[in-house]
């Protein structure tokens, strides 16, 4: 990933403006705690967080061939490979910390033109590979204090497991003798479970039935997503 242009964004939850203020990000797929007040801009497959001349980007990527260690190493290499594109002059890259297989890989770097201090981390959790990128613009160096701040942020990062489609809906989809379609209500199942069921049903050849959803939803006042059997 590369830094995005500044944007006004929302904050999920910010503690009172006092000593020790922090921003707590809590989404269906990610939880993260950052010191100070940050603003957030969702991006494809991740999140973009800004504070003054700082930017944190958290991105999600698949684990290839069930090889978490290899995927982490590949991501860390890609992060380092992006530095020449981000830095016009005098890029200094510290060799990554030695890490046991499957453990996070940290990369530290600085750039003279433009002046940026970088911290990149490649992590694997919950079947995903996570890219953590911290850009400190106009910073000349990374100090132990700044490195400890990143260690604290990364330690707070929690990737949540993807919601699964309820087994009752899966059993109904598998029952070839069953009749009728299926209508899913996010208010009951949750958005993530509805999305998971939709993927499961479509993989079995079911098709989305917006007409039925509109008809039943209009009569009941419910927000539904309906599918018809193949």
The residue extents of the domains of the chain are 22-159, 167-228
- Report the distance separating Cα 50 and Cα 40, nearest Å: 6
The model scores a pTM over 0.75: no
**Where do we find the tokens 């009172």?**
16
Mind listing the pLDDT tens digit for each residue in 140-152?
A: 899 999 999 999 9
Taking a C-beta distance cutoff of 8 angstroms, is the pair 223, 186 a contact?
yes
- Report the distance separating Cα 186 and Cα 198, nearest Å: 12
Q: Phi and psi at residue 148, in whole multiples of 5°?
A: -65, -35
Mean pLDDT of 26-38: 90
Taking a C-beta distance cutoff of 8 angstroms, is the pair 216, 229 a contact?
no
- Report the distance separating Cα 115 and Cα 124, nearest Å: 30
Taking a C-beta distance cutoff of 8 angstroms, is the pair 52, 136 a contact?
no
Confidence of residue 3 (pLDDT cuts 50, 70, 90): very low
**Percentage of the residues of the chain whose pLDDT score is greater than 70:** 91
DSSP letter at 105?
A: E
* CA gyration radius, the chain: 22
Question: The domain 22-159 belongs to what CATH superfamily?
Answer: Mog1/PsbP, alpha/beta/alpha sandwich (3.40.1000.10)
Mind listing the pLDDT tens digit for each residue in 74-116?
A: 999 999 999 989 998 888 999 877 778 889 999 999 999 999 9
* CA-to-CA dists, residue 119 to 50, 89, 147, angstroms: 15, 18, 8
Taking a C-beta distance cutoff of 8 angstroms, is the pair 91, 114 a contact?
no
- Report the distance separating Cα 182 and Cα 121, nearest Å: 42
Alpha helices in the chain (DSSP H): 68-81, 83-86, 144-156, 167-174, 186-189, 191-203, 210-220
- Report the distance separating Cα 11 and Cα 193, nearest Å: 24
3-state DSSP assignment of residue 138? coil
- Report the distance separating Cα 26 and Cα 114, nearest Å: 32
Residue 219 scores a pLDDT above 80: yes
């Amino acid at each position: 990933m590369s830094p995005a242009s500044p944007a006004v964004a929302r904050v999920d939850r910010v503690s009172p403006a006092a000593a020790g203020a922090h921003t707590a990000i809590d989404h269906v797929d990610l939880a993260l705690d950052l010191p100070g007040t940050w603003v957030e801009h969702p991006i494809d497959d991740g999140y973009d967080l800004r504070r003054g001349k700082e930017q944190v980007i958290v991105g999600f990527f698949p684990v290839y061939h069930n090889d978490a260690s290899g995927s982490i190493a590949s991501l860390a290499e890609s992060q380092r490979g992006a530095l020449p594109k981000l830095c016009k002059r005098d890029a200094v890259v510290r060799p990554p910390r030695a890490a046991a297989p499957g453990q996070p890989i940290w990369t530290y770097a600085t750039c003279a033109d433009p002046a940026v201090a970088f911290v990149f981390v490649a992590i694997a959790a919950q079947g995903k590979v996570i890219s953590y990128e911290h850009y400190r613009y106009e910073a000349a160096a990374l100090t132990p204090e700044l490195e400890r701040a990143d260690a604290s942020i990364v330690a707070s990062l929690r990737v949540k497991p993807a919601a699964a489609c309820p087994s009752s809906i899966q059993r109904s989809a598998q029952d070839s003798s069953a009749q009728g379609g299926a209508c899913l209500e996010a208010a009951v199942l949750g958005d993530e479970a509805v999305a998971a069921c939709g993927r499961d049903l479509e993989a079995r050849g079911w098709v989305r039935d917006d007409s039925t959803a509109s008809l039943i939803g209009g009569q009941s006042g419910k927000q539904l997503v309906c599918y018809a059997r193949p």
